[in-house]
Chain A
């Protein structure tokens, strides 16, 4: 995140005391003051090794999701006739008979087990299929704009199924990358909606107080008392099934945000209540600033770092909720791919017992949630100037 090396930090000076800001030259001094605050946060954050590693991994995950067409060898709908529920193809490096070094896979042959009447997949060790990089395969539009057919890797003949295939013979690796799109983005979009609602309502509640505050607080109390999942399930089940994926996606995001904003609103209100009593708020009011200007200019910047921390902790909750809803079948509907819809295949225990690789998307979900939590932890430690 930061180019600062940890060696540079040891004795970072504390943030300058607040008295430095004088009302007269607020504009320039304020900017300087905040810059140094962010600098401090960055320094403290880079000391939190787990958080730094996590943020790098998260960025990689998001890049994989954005350029899923490029990083995956196939498309999520490509079917390999005759290769239903095939296990992952292991990648080998040292080629037989002194063929040199480089990634390759063996071709897979399918045989029918005469006793159990199940198909078994065996590597055909005579057929070496080298993995090529930047291969031309199925055409797609990168970012929906650039027409190309280059994939990061692939085999010229046969197939490479890194995570195996599902029962409709589609590549689980490709589908996991494409599923990341919906799963990872729904966290951001959902938190954005919650954020707007939370800051707006929490801000109004905290700044104006009185009856407005009472009403908003009672609404929050009420929403917080409802167990979310049953409500979400029922609401999303009422959505028409024939809606296009995009519409469904936004509807579900909105449903998740209905309860999601309350926590943020609480944070905003609490901070707002504390900061509006500060002298500089009084000064701004005395100078004739409007409520909007005071909120956006003087109060919000005072707790932006806290907001960022709350947001970071909210994203994994959103991702999980989407996964849960899609997993039980009331969220995103196939053929759209999300980690939740991929996990639908893992609901059947007997199927998973034989096709372990169907569980791989679950590891992605747990991993993502853990990473976000690590980042949130690091940010919280970094953003709290009174820590230790």
Chain B
């Protein structure tokens, strides 16, 4: 068992290395190099850059070295010193920009995932136990629309409706007075007032999908003989349902985390941009538009790495909750 877990964790390393290469490729992609862009930028704002200064910048970023060396320096900086490079657009180290935004992205993605489960599982159970009932049809149709409707367009439409009809702006995560304020209970409450819309929108597609999965799995389980046996022994319907078939039906949800997360993160980046939330999404957009590649590459790497780690956690959690997998692996 332990061997399996260790192997899974070790397998992360090559994936993360590959991801860092992709991110570095992105950083190196735009024509021209960082320093010459920076110099033009400085010159455009009226600062004269001397040849010495230029040479110093080039040496600092190792642009006179070949690409593998540059890659190594970049990775070394991240791993050894936690230095993600410098954003020329913000004129700040990347770390400082992302310090508060990355956790917010994690919070939104994870809460959206949990929320979608909390909503979808009871609905799925209801739909399966009341198959072909009126509400079952309603949920099926809603689910179908939910899967197909693009979150970011719905975000656009909802933000507009809320703004035009009720006059309040759902843009951002905080009201203006809390924007720069330190964390307090009042700020937290203010956050709760804003965060529900992105959570619903980000989780919408997954909610609809989960309803289908739970419904189908539960329908399969309900026809099995152990259910009939338990019922004939006089177990109350609720206890029977929740204790056996439901547990089996929702187990696979954990194993789907690994392919739900990338979509969830993608969706939240877009929705965050539309609602201009204080997360990584809007920063990534501005960085890409300005070709601020250190920032953009870092965000791509961070988001990808978090996704993989999240997927791994999902798989490990599955081992914890599912004895079949736990003991099945242990016997080997």
Contacts and interface: CB of A to CB of B under 8 A. Distances in A.
Interface of A: 222, 224-231, 233-235, 237-238, 240, 316, 320, 323-324, 327-330, 343, 346-347, 349-350, 352-353, 356, 359, 362, 365-366, 369-370, 373, 377
B171 A349 contact: yes
Interface bracket on B: 35 or more
B313 interface: no
Nearest to B153: A362
A324 B159 contact: no
Contacts of B259: 224
B304 A226 contact: yes
Contact of A230 (B18, B261, B300): B300
B95 interface: no
B270 A324 contact: yes
B160 A228 contact: no
A225 B15 contact: yes
Contacts of A369: 148-150
Contacts of A346: 156, 160
Contact of B163 (A316, A353, A370): A353
Contacts of A233: 269, 284-285, 288, 296
Interface stretch (B25-33, B46-54, B110-118, B196-204): B25-33
Contacts of A230: 265-266, 269, 284, 299-300, 303-304
A373 B160 contact: no
B311 interface: yes
Given A229-B267, A230-B266, A366-B149, 18 more contacts: A225-B307, A227-B266, A227-B269, A227-B303, A229-B266, A230-B299, A230-B300, A231-B22, A231-B304, A233-B284, A233-B296, A234-B296, A237-B288, A237-B291, A238-B293, A323-B150, A330-B285, A373-B147
Cβ-closest 3 pairs across A and B: A237-B288, A229-B266, A227-B265
A302 to B, nearest CB: 26
A231 B163 contact: no
B65 to A, nearest CB: 22
Given A234-B300, A349-B163, A362 B285 contact: no
5 contacts: A226-B22, A233-B285, A238-B291, A346-B156, A359-B156
A359 B160 contact: yes
Given A233-B285, A349-B159, A373-B148, A328 B31 contact: no
B160 A349 contact: yes
B162 to A, nearest CB: 9
A226 B22 CA distance: 10
B156 A234 contact: no
Interface in B114-149: 144-145, 147-149
B297 A234 contact: yes
A227 B270 contact: no
A225 B263 CA distance: 9
A343 B26 contact: no
Contacts of A370: 145, 148-149
Contacts of B149: 366, 369-370
> Chain B CB within 10 Å — which of A228, A237, A327, A362 has the most?
A237
B164 interface: yes
A353 B147 CA distance: 27
* Main SS class of interface, B: helix
B285 A373 contact: no
B289 interface: yes
A329 B266 CA distance: 16
A350 B149 CA distance: 24
Contacts of B307: 225-227
Contact of A238 (B19, B30, B160, B285): B30
Contacts of B145: 370
A359 B157 CA distance: 8
Given A222-B18, A224-B259, A235-B26, A349 B269 contact: no
A228 B156 contact: no
A327 B157 CA distance: 14
Interface in B269-321: 269-270, 273-274, 284-285, 288-289, 291, 293, 296-297, 299-300, 303-304, 307-308, 311
A147 to B, nearest CB: 38
Contacts of A316: 148
A352 B270 CA distance: 19
Contacts of A226: 19, 22, 262, 304, 307
A237 B258 contact: no
Nearest to A330: B288
A61 to B, nearest CB: 16
A323 B156 CA distance: 13
> Chain B CB within 10 Å — which of A225, A230, A330, A359 has the most?
A230
Given A224-B262, A230-B266, A353-B163, A373 B289 contact: no
A324 B152 contact: yes
Interface string B31-61: 1000000000000000000000000000000
Interface string B166-182: 00010100000000000
A350 to B, nearest CB: 8
A233 B152 CA distance: 15
Nearest to A351: B160
A268 B71 CA distance: 36
Contacts of B296: 233-234, 237
Contacts of A229: 265-267, 269-270
Contacts of A366: 148-150, 153
A353 B160 contact: yes
Nearest to B27: A234
A77 B193 CA distance: 43
Contacts of A235: 26, 29
A228 B266 contact: yes
A42 B269 CA distance: 40
Nearest to A325: B270
Interface string B239-280: 000000000000000000011011101110110011000000
A320 B288 contact: no
B285 A343 contact: no
A366 B15 CA distance: 35
Contacts of B274: 347
Given A230-B266, A328-B273, A373 B144 contact: yes
B262 A225 contact: yes
Nearest to A346: B156
A328 B270 contact: yes
